Amino acid sequence: MENFKWKWQDTLAVAVGLLTVGFALVNYHRLPAQLPAHIGASGEFDEFWKKSSVILLFGGLGVLLPVLMQITRSLDPKKERYTKFENAHAMIRLAVSLIFDSVLAVSVLYGLGISLQGSRVAIIVLGAALLVIGNYMPQVKDNYFLGVKTPWTLASPEVWRRTHRLAGALWAVAGIVIIISAFLPGKWFTYTMISALLIAVVIPCIYSWADYRRLKA
C-alpha cells in the first residue's frame, strides 16, 4: 500500500513481540491454567484469565500493532498528514507494542513463579512508554486516529498544535510520575497513578476547548 511505511521501529516491535510469544509458548506446559491479565488500583494483579487468552491477546497485539496502526493510517482521510510526522508515528507504534509485550512477559514470568514484582515492572514499562509518547506527541499533526482528538482540535490545526504541545509535556511528566508511583505503597500508588493519568488526559481536552473559544472570540 502506498501509505504503508515500514521502519526499523516496526521490525524491532515485531521481533520483540515474536520473541515474547515464543517464550510463552515454549513454557506453555509449565504455566498454570490462568495467568494475570490486569493490575488493580492497589498496584497488584487482581484479575486472571486463561493462559491461552492472555498469550493470544497481549502477544497478538504486541506483534500486530505496527501493522494495525499502518492500516488505520491508510484509512485516515488525512493520511497525507502522516508524512509530516513519520518518525513520531513509528516511535509511538514501538512504544505501544512494547507495553503489550511487557504485560505478556511479566504475566508468563509470574506464572513460572519467578518473583520480579511483576506488576511493578509492568507499571514502570507503562510509565516509560508514556514518557516516550509524550516526547513525540508535539510532532503529531492533525489526523483522525492518533492524538488528542476533540471536536476543537479536529476543527482547528492551530488548536491541535498547541494542545499537543501541552499534552506532550503532560504525558512525559505523567510517565515519570507513574514510574515513581511503582515504588510507592498501596494507597499512595493508587492516588499518584490515577492523578497522573487524569491530569494527562483531562487537561489537554479542557485546554483544547478553551483555546478554540479564545481563537473564535
Tell me what the mean pLDDT of segment 85-111 comes to.
Answer: 93
Tell me what the mean pLDDT of segment 117-144 comes to.
Answer: 90
pLDDT at 186: 73
The more confident residue out of 19 and 106 is 19
Q: Are 164 and 148 in contact (CB under 8 A)?
A: yes
pLDDT at 37: 86
Angstrom distance (rounded) from CA 142 to CA 170: 19
Which phi and psi angles does 117 have, rounded to 5°?
50, 55
Band the pLDDT of 114: cuts 50, 70, 90.
Answer: confident
What is the 8-class DSSP label of residue 80?
G
Angstrom distance (rounded) from CA 149 to CA 127: 22
Angstrom distance (rounded) from CA 56 to CA 61: 8
Band the pLDDT of 2: cuts 50, 70, 90.
Answer: low
Closest CA to 16 of 89, 94, 74: 94
Closest CA to 70 of 57, 79, 58: 79
Tell me what the mean pLDDT of segment 151-156 comes to.
Answer: 96
Angstrom distance (rounded) from CA 121 to CA 105: 10
Share of the chain above pLDDT 70, in %: 94
Is residue 96 predicted with pLDDT exceeding 70? yes
Share of the chain above pLDDT 90, in %: 74
The predicted model scores a pTM of: 0.88
The string of pLDDT tens digits covering residues 20-53 is 999 999 999 999 999 988 876 666 777 889 999 9
